[in-house]
Amino acid sequence: MVNTKVSLSGLILDNPVLCASGTFGYGYEFAELYDINCLGSFSFKGTTKEPRFGNPTPRIAECPMGMINSVGLQNPGVEKVISEELPRLRRVFHKPVIANIGGFTFEEYTEVASLLDKEEGVGLLEINISCPNVHGGGMGFGTSAQTAAEVTRRVKAVTKKPVYIKLTPNVTDIVSIAKACEDAGADGISMINTLLGMRIDLKRKKPIIANKMGGFSGPAIFPVALRMIYQVYEAVKIPIIGMGGVTSAEDVIEMMLAGASAVQIGAQNLVNPYAAKEIVEALPSVMEKYGIENLASIIGGAHNG
């Protein structure tokens, strides 16, 4: 009998399969299709202090082996997430959930984190530092090691829950940013967020997405994500949640060999709403195929020898 259990900063998961923020809503939408308790956990929709309608439409552009989106953190705001979304979620999901937090100032990150820290059903905080820093010229918090570290320090000061920093790949050196987050007290790293991409409508001769550019995700980015996880694993001692183009149980194992302790399924949920369930179900047989008895034992295995 194979063992699929893994641990994230003391949080024991039945398996390493998670769903990525922004692709799984608040969970109950997918609970209408299958029992989502089969998942290790999931990261709910990115939550900000105030309600956000998001970016203008169109927000989605399809492309070979992936998609581009510019949704813009549409969410009802942290107060409604706590008063409405989490109670509704608890009726269908009975495991600790991952709270994804977005912000446009340091103060917003800390305020949202301190509120979600009080929620018993939240197992860990995932801090999305790809948001534009409105006081820093609009560049993402995650594009600078200094600002990434500062967000980490401030959030750690207001919460007792494990803090995982979600890194953007749109940087020259993701390793130095991951290391800065670790040095500032991060309990783990989530990576990677979407790459920056665009599509142009040939008939209109204009960008398809209203914001011109958006986040590129899907199977095409898997090799980039894998490479970055491999590099960061060699530089830090804290756990990594891997994501980026994962579509199969084989991909999950590959990411774990590169250094991920757990793996999030993102865009594939939008292609096939049963994707995460099917990956969970396939994991034991794929483990047996490759002679893996205990998933936790293979984390970072590709670095040996």
109 close to 140: Cβ distance less than 8 angstroms: no
**Rounded distance between C-alpha atoms, residue 130 and residue 48, angstroms:** 13
164 close to 181: Cβ distance less than 8 angstroms: no
By the 10 Å C-beta count (0-12 exposed, 13-18 middle, 19+ buried), 98 is classed as: buried
User: Annotated catalytic, 131?
Assistant: yes
How many whole angstroms from its chain centre is CA 277? Answer: 17
Report which DSSP code applies to 103: -
**Rounded distance between C-alpha atoms, residue 294 and residue 297, angstroms:** 6
186 close to 193: Cβ distance less than 8 angstroms: no
Q: Give me the catalytic one of 19, 38, 63, 131.
A: 131
Mind telling me the catalytic residues?
A: 131
